[in-house]
Structure 1
């Protein structure tokens, strides 16, 4: 094993949290520990360190079941039995936790989406390698790339960020347990895009076929 002890600044932050937030709310934390989790929503967001889901929605512990991956993508359903972290998290949220909402949250200036655009346009050969985990993950977004290549070059990446949401929403419905819950009106799906710099939030309006400000 090569694991080492935490850096000092993280240790100090932990002790600060325990002496303040935890100490002031320890009865609540103990209730969470013994009562289990009952989140109303699952949020699938990007790994990007600038996107802080609980801060955006002012959420407390226990409110959201959060799964993060590169570019907040949902792969299409498969039953090949291989390791699928996002699919496993989705299955648990829908079938075990019985969440009422699944939210896909994409964001501006996404490095994963930019990498996908570079790869699909032939400018990122390293991502084309079969050994590239990022590249093979971003293959999920190739259908979205095909939908934006008709746009002016300087608009394609921004448009692809929102296509990441739409591709994920489409793929969500390929999971039998998601489709069944949606059709039974036990689950609703939501697509969001946030601008990091502007602090704005847009949601996908399926009836109008576009993203609108929240």
Structure 2
């Protein structure tokens, strides 16, 4: 195990600061979480992007959200096979075991994964086209969505349109999971689509009546 190294000192210092302040002031709450288990009200599917801070955006405490992060906040279609499916497993656990009441897909501005999909679909990213590219094969989930924005000429507008489209693709794919559809149809689970503007601190939600994203 020689490849495992000590934790960087700045992370050690930050942990010690958290333990001496936040944890010290809320010991009873952490002990409750540690002994009573988790009972989150919502699952949030967001991007891995370090600039997207889900708990800060919603002012959430530990134990409130079941959070799953992946490249471009994508949900693949329901496809039980011999492969490993981290996102699908997280959704199954949240919906069937934790019984969350809401599943939220959160997209964001300047998404590198979405831009990678655009570059790949335009033939500008041969590395992503390679069969052994994990990112490229993951972005295949979004390829159908690119067709909806391919005619947009302005690069910035096209990227933003596909960022929002990625949210809708994921929400559509969620409904291919039988255990998700069953609870949605029963009225015990609701699905929500959001897009976050990092620079402006904005948050938009998909509105069925408007057939688009509107400011929250």
> With structure 2 as the length reference, what TM-score do the two structures score?
0.98
For residues 162-198 of structure 1, what are the alpha-carbon distances to aligned partners after superposition, in whole Å with 9 as ceiling and x for unaligned? 0000100000000000000100001000000000000
Pairs aligned (count) = 214
Residue 208 of structure 1 and its aligned partner are, at CA, apart by: 2.1
Q: For residues 110-125 of structure 1, what are the structure 2 equivalents within 5 Å?
A: 110-125=111-126
Distance 2:190 2:55 in 1: 20
> With structure 1 as the length reference, what TM-score do the two structures score?
0.99
Residue 77 of structure 1 and its aligned partner are, at CA, apart by: 0.4
Structure 2, unmatched stretches of 5+, are none
**What does residue 179 of structure 2 align with?**
177
- Secondary structure of the equivalent of 1:68? strand
Distance 1:180 1:150 in 2: 36
For residues 45-67 of structure 1, what are the alpha-carbon distances to aligned partners after superposition, in whole Å with 9 as ceiling and x for unaligned? 00000000000000000000000
**What does residue 194 of structure 2 align with?**
192
For residues 8-32 of structure 1, what are the alpha-carbon distances to aligned partners after superposition, in whole Å with 9 as ceiling and x for unaligned? 0000000100000001100110001
Q: For residues 1-214 of structure 1, what are the structure 2 equivalents within 5 Å?
A: 1=1, 2-154=3-155, 155-214=157-216
- Secondary structure of the equivalent of 1:123? coil
- Secondary structure of the equivalent of 2:35? helix
Residue 207 of structure 1 and its aligned partner are, at CA, apart by: 2.6
Structure 1, unmatched stretches of 5+, are none
Residue 150 of structure 1 and its aligned partner are, at CA, apart by: 1.7
